[in-house]
Amino acid sequence: MRLIALALALLAVTAQAQGLQVGSKRFTESYILGELLIRTAGTGTHRQGLGNTGIVFAALKAGSIDLYPEYTGTIARELLKLEGRATLEDLNRGLAPMGFGVAVPLGFNNSYALAMREERAQALGIRKLSDLAKHPDLKLGLSQEFIGRADGWPGLKAAYALPHRAPQGLDHGLAYEAIAAAKIDVMDIYTTDAKIERFQLRALEDDRGFFPRYEAVLLYRLEVPTRFPEAWAKLQKLDGRIDERTMIRMNAAAELQGKSFAQAAALLDPGAAPAKPSQRSFLAALLGADFLRLTWQHLVLVFVSLAGSIVVGIPLGILAAKVQWAEQPTLGAVGVIQTIPALALLVFLIALMGTIGTGPALVALFLYALLPIVRGTHSGLLAVGQGMRQAAMALGLPAAERMRCVELPLALPSILSGIKVSAVINVGTATIAAFVGAGGYGERIVSGLALNDNALMLAGAVPAAALALAVQWGFERGERRWGWRARADVTDRLH
């Protein structure tokens, strides 16, 4: 735990030194706008792809980020629970008591809409959202955030009296592939999505005016203009600069033309050449400029959390093996932790710790790594023969000495096996940490999901798999070498 605390302290100091912290949600447009804000401010760090509105807003409240691109409709309906057409003054009035404000309208509206394949909508005669009520058998595939938002599925279903059953939850990027393959009939879209035309989708008319306008703005902590006056002055220059056509163009550069989010953001500059269509190769994505940074982040996540788990897990395993009443509670507790879904645990830790990123990720990985180490230690100690214990007692060794010099060395192969399993599990689980801005190879996987870019997803999955194999190979060698030596030393000592 000291190692984790030290790592968190170092990371906190590093974050303070990095200046302006810009967040973004986990979809293409938000990634691009985050890069654009950093590019315009000329300083700071982009904490990209932090998750849905709830997670990013929690990060803003905790001070883990200073600002992020948001939409007026989301602020009004989801964050402030306001009805009707809220103005910027209304939003600032509601946000001010929380220490936040909105400013710098970027110039475009990116509304929610539901869409169908053009041919399917035409065949069924569906042009408006109210037409959906006549077709209760249509299969809906909606993003998880849209399903849970007040201005999403629950409100839309009530406003249009839609008879459809609970929709299937899909990642926004994957939903395009699902609707193209006719796996679903209806999906939610953003009106500036670049893929609407490519997949020949029809955006259904909101004939009852359910959706508010979603004007892109900056949602910021009120101290930002004072803390970063130069950067804030530069950000003011973005006021009204991005129209819907420009935003679609930047989205298309990332989603359809294989450009990075930073390259797509650069298209706002006057005279920027249109992005040429290109196919991102797996090798280019794998060996990208971020490879060393992501590798270091992934190694920190895996081995710092593993070190903490070893320090805590081995004593817990000893306790479970030596104290009868503590055995079932200890093994049960670490077993229950293993059953908690990773994202659910991360969200809980974000709320508990009041921050996002590496801190909650390290604690989550530490907790997940406990079970194999505790069980390995427990099983290894129970497997030590009674004869070995009696021989140690015959030599007059006290209980603590018997544990240190005889029982633990004999249990070492089982302990190392548990540590190996924890390390391999951590390598894979650490990819989930990117969903809360902790970096690592999962950052590529999350970006690939947003872009539906298989090469980018593989560029994150393959090095993670290779690292898992390398870790397993290293621990297996250690088991053979140190396990044999430990048994030999015990035998020599007792004879």
pLDDT tens, per residue, the chain with 495 residues: 454 444 444 444 444 445 899 999 988 999 999 999 999 999 898 888 887 888 889 889 888 899 999 999 999 988 998 887 889 999 999 999 999 999 999 999 999 899 999 999 999 999 999 999 999 999 999 988 888 888 889 999 999 999 988 787 888 878 888 999 999 999 999 889 988 888 899 999 999 989 989 999 999 999 999 999 999 999 999 999 999 989 999 999 988 888 888 889 999 876 555 545 445 677 888 888 889 989 999 999 999 999 999 999 999 999 998 888 988 999 999 999 988 888 778 878 877 887 777 888 899 999 999 999 999 999 888 887 665 565 655 555 666 677 766 777 888 888 888 999 999 999 999 988 887 778 889 888 888 877 777 788 888 999 999 999 999 898 888 767 665 555 555 555 545
pLDDT for position 156: 93
Strand arrangement, sheet containing 186-190:
168-169, 140-142, 186-190, 112-117, 201-203
Do residues 3 and 308 lie in contact, with contact meaning Cβ atoms separated by under 8 Å? yes
The single-letter DSSP state of residue 99 is: T
Query: Could you tell me the CA-to-CA distances from 305 to 216, 342, 382 in Å, in that order?
Result: 38, 15, 26
Burial class, 473, CB count within 10 angstroms (exposed 0-12 / middle 13-18 / buried 19+): exposed
Instruction: Give CB contacts under 8 A, 24+ apart, made by 249-252.
Output: 249/274, 250/29, 250/32, 251/28, 251/29, 251/32, 251/192, 251/193, 251/194, 252/194
The sign one gets for the Cα dihedral 312, 318, 321, 327 is: negative
Do residues 94 and 82 lie in contact, with contact meaning Cβ atoms separated by under 8 Å? yes
pLDDT for position 31: 93
How far the first Cα of the chain sits from its last, in Å, is 38
Residues 160 and 170: their CA atoms lie apart, in Å, by 22
CATH number among 3.50.50.60, 3.40.190.120, 1.10.132.20, 3.40.50.720, domain 112-203: 3.40.190.120
Q: Which two tokens stand for residue 154?
A: 């629950």
pLDDT for position 366: 94
- Quote the CATH superfamily of domain 291-494: MetI-like (1.10.3720.10)
Q: Which residues does residue 215 pair with via DSSP β-bridges, in sequence order?
A: 109
Among 298, 370, 308, residue whose Cα is nearest residue 4: 308
Question: What is the pairing mode between strands 186-190 and 45-47?
Answer: unpaired
Query: Which helix (H) or strand (E) covers residue 286, if one does?
Result: helix 282-286
Which part of the chain is CATH 1.10.3720.10? 291-494
Q: Which residues does residue 113 pair with via DSSP β-bridges, in sequence order?
A: 189
Which part of the chain is CATH 3.40.190.120? 112-203
Helices 442-451, 291-322: inter-axial angle, 10-degree rounding: 120
Do residues 119 and 127 lie in contact, with contact meaning Cβ atoms separated by under 8 Å? no
Q: Which residues contact 397 (CB under 8 A, 6 or more apart)?
A: 405, 406
**Backbone dihedral region of 102: left (phi > 0), alpha (psi from -120 to 50 degrees) or beta?**
beta
The single-letter DSSP state of residue 268 is: G
Residues 333 and 315: their CA atoms lie apart, in Å, by 15
Which part of the chain is CATH 3.40.190.10? 19-109+214-278
CATH fold of 19-109+214-278: D-Maltodextrin-Binding Protein; domain 2 (3.40.190)
Burial class, 76, CB count within 10 angstroms (exposed 0-12 / middle 13-18 / buried 19+): buried
Do residues 261 and 35 lie in contact, with contact meaning Cβ atoms separated by under 8 Å? yes
Stated pTM of the model? 0.74
Q: Which residues does residue 112 pair with via DSSP β-bridges, in sequence order?
A: 190
